[in-house]
Structure 1
Amino acid sequence: MSPGTRSDAVLRAKIEAELALWPSDINQAVVSKILDGSCVYTETTYGHTTPKHRFFIALYTACLMYVDDLGERDLDAVMRFTGRFAKGQDHPDPVLNRLAGLLRQSHELWPQYGADAIIAGTLDAVTAMYIEYTAKHLVIKPSATRFPYYFRTRAGIGPPFIHFIFMNTWRSTPESYLQLLPYMEHWTLGTNLSFYKEELAGETNNYVHLRAAAEETSANHVLRQLVDEVLDSAHTMNVLTSEDAELAALWQKYFHGYLEFSLKAKRYRLAELGYEA
């Protein structure tokens, strides 16, 4: 049931202008994918937010996509991002400086709790990206069954993207949706629609393979388990929001928008499997 979200020409023009200021040695094909991915994600999943919020989210997403690849060129800059941010220092990379500036603006757009989660979740994510580069040969012990999800919650940037939903002009405090957050995050991270492209690339340091190693089972078995877990989280979300019409509408918007994004985003390559948004 795709919402059929339209492209936001104004947003795309503004993000394209931002990306034009990025280092000139970045492959333009990569820049094009970042532009498409960040804008499609924002258009489909956060269309209920204001233009100012959408610009922040799209640029933030673009910056995180950039950082995810930066370790190949400047791993030291990724490693030192959190320390430099905490000390208020400039970063050697202009995109990292832009990301740090966005984090400092987050309290202007989201409630206190949400903004704090956005900042903390981003620092966790960048640290996890660094670990992904430096621990590629990590051998998962069969008894470490909680580690894959622990690592996934950090590398998956769950808290920021969940809290982006609840802008400060909607509700000023989080008590009405606080209990939903773990289920929304579990649904988002468990959906894992990037697995197909990762499998094609031969990646084995993702959540599915880490969990398969820890549970001493196959990746296919883990995928089937994830299907049940994601459906269970979605059902729980429906129950938890059933007495709050506004909250239920927001959850449904996010639910369908996230799926629409996953099918539209070229980087996930799901069109090759016959899926269309």
Structure 2
Amino acid sequence: MDPSCVDLHTTQHQGVQSWTSSLWNLAELLGLSNLLPKRRTTVDTLRSFVNYFDTTDLPSIEDAELKYLCIKEGESTYLEDNYPDDPDTLVGVANFTKHFASLKTQPTKMAEHFANILAEAPQLFGDVAADFIVQAGLSGMSEAYTMFIFPKDLSYNLYVQALPLVGEVINFMNDITSFYKEECENERHNLVSLMAEARGEPKIETLCYLVERCIQAHERTLRILSPYEGVRSNYENFVKGYLAFHLGAKRYRLSELDL
């Protein structure tokens, strides 16, 4: 185990238990509780939850939109993890939007690759979706993910009212599942830490509050999309996959909890 995490395991064990218990509630909301054993320990419960996800029927990598998504998220993750420590990333980020808007070549190879990825969005997605994807790429906001959920030929009017709530689900779920990694790495500039400080409460209380907000946004989204079974199914499948990605990716270090 990473020595930096020793204190986390010894002094915040109850906090981690509460966090995994909150993720159980999210699993119940997604309709997975009948596939999980009766509660024993929080770790056992979360382990069963993670093991539920089936990766044998993933979309074909030959799908152009999926290839685009993989490349875009790979580039985005690289930039996030290396800024501001990598000199090339530091140089490329500062004036990225200025160069992108003026159609000028970016100052670094990685920044130029990312600019080209954003420029390709209109070729693969509808006009509205492409606008959201480019905006999200420039701002770091969650709108791009909301556009990846729904097929290109699906009428925008069927899901537009749910987009703000879908954005909340995406953002909160990322904050919740990133908490352990950020605590291990002593990161303090994140939503949980900043909100806990502002509210004058322990981080675990703030984390549980965010779980409640995430679940509320998810339930409201389901109600809005309920008249359209196919649209709702697209959203539900995305949520399951998005959560499965965070639970399984090495980047989030959740394997250290013996899930």
Q: Distance in 1 between matches of 2:162 and 2:156?
A: 10
Tell whether 2:252 aligns with 1:237.
Answer: no
> Which structure is higher in helix share?
2
Return closer, same or farther for 1:120/1:49 CA change in 2, 3 Å cut-off.
farther
Which residue of 1 is the match for residue 37 of structure 2?
Answer: none
SS at match of 1:91: coil
Contact residue 186 and residue 233 of structure 1 kept, 8 A: yes
Matched residue type, 2:230 = E
- Pair member with larger Rg: 2
Q: Give the residue type in structure 1 aligned to 2:192.
A: V
- Once the two structures are TM-superposed, the CA of residue 50 in structure 1 deviates from its matched residue by 6.9
The residue aligned with 1:181 is 163
Q: Report the equivalent of 2:54.
A: 4
1:208 maps to which of 192, 198, 206 = 192
* Distance in 1 separating the partners of 2:149 and 2:166: 11
**Aligned equivalent of 1:94:** 109
2:111 counterpart of 1:115? no
Letter in 2 for 1:78: V
Give the one of 95, 105, 114 matched to 1:80.
95
* Aligned counterparts of 1:167 and 1:93: Cα–Cα separation in 2: 33
Shift of 1:92: 2.4
Percent identity over the alignment is: 25
Instruction: Provide the C-alpha distance between the structure 2 equivalents of 1:53 and 1:226, rounded to a whole number of angstroms.
Output: 31
Query: Is the Cα contact below 8 Å between 1:110 and 1:166 reproduced in 2?
Result: no
User: Unpaired runs of 5+ in structure 2?
Assistant: 1-31, 33-51
Query: Structure 1 segments of 4 or more deviating over 2 A?
Result: 47-50, 213-218
Name the TM-score, length of structure 2 as normaliser.
0.74
Contact 2:196/2:206 (CA < 8 Å) preserved in 1? yes
3-state SS of paired residue (1:164): helix
Question: What amino acid is the match of 1:99?
Answer: F
| In structure 2, C-alpha distance between the alignment counterparts of 1:80 and 1:88, rounded to whole Å | 12
Separation (CA, whole Å) in 2 of partners of 1:218 and 1:167: 41
5+ long unaligned stretches in structure 1: 8-42, 126-156
The Cα RMSD (Å) is 1.9
Which amino acid in structure 1 is aligned with residue 54 of structure 2?
G
